[in-house]
C-alpha cells in the first residue's frame, strides 16, 4: 500500500493471519491499477468512471486503515 507506508508493517502481520485483509489489498491494487489506466487513456472521456474509482479506492483504503488501527478485525 504505497499510500500507507506507516501501516505497512502492521498490514504484513495482519495479512499473514487474515485472508480477508489480503482480499482487500488485492481489491485496492486492482482498483488503483484500473484508475491509473483510465487516467492515462482518456481522462475526459472517462471522467465519471474515474470519479467512481477514486471513491472506491478511498473507501477500500479507509477500510484497511480501520482494520489496522482496530487490531485486525477483517471484513466479514
Average pLDDT, the chain: 85
Give the pLDDT confidence score for residue 30 in this predicted structure.
96
- What are the CA-CA distances from residue 42 to residues 39, 45, 51, 57, 66 (Å)? 6, 5, 13, 19, 33
For the cut 60, the answer to whether the pLDDT of residue 73 exceeds it is no
Give the pLDDT confidence score for residue 44 in this predicted structure.
93
Amino acid at each position: 500500500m504505497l499510500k500507507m507506508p506507516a501501516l505497512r508493517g502492521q498490514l504484513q502481520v495482519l495479512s499473514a493471519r487474515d485472508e480477508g485483509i489480503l482480499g482487500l489489498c488485492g481489491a485496492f491494487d486492482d482498483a488503483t491499477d484500473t484508475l491509473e489506466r483510465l487516467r492515462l487513456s482518456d481522462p475526459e472521456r472517462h471522467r465519471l468512471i474515474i470519479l467512481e474509482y477514486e471513491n472506491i479506492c478511498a473507501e477500500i483504503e479507509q477500510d484497511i486503515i480501520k482494520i489496522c488501527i482496530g487490531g485486525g478485525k477483517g471484513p466479514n
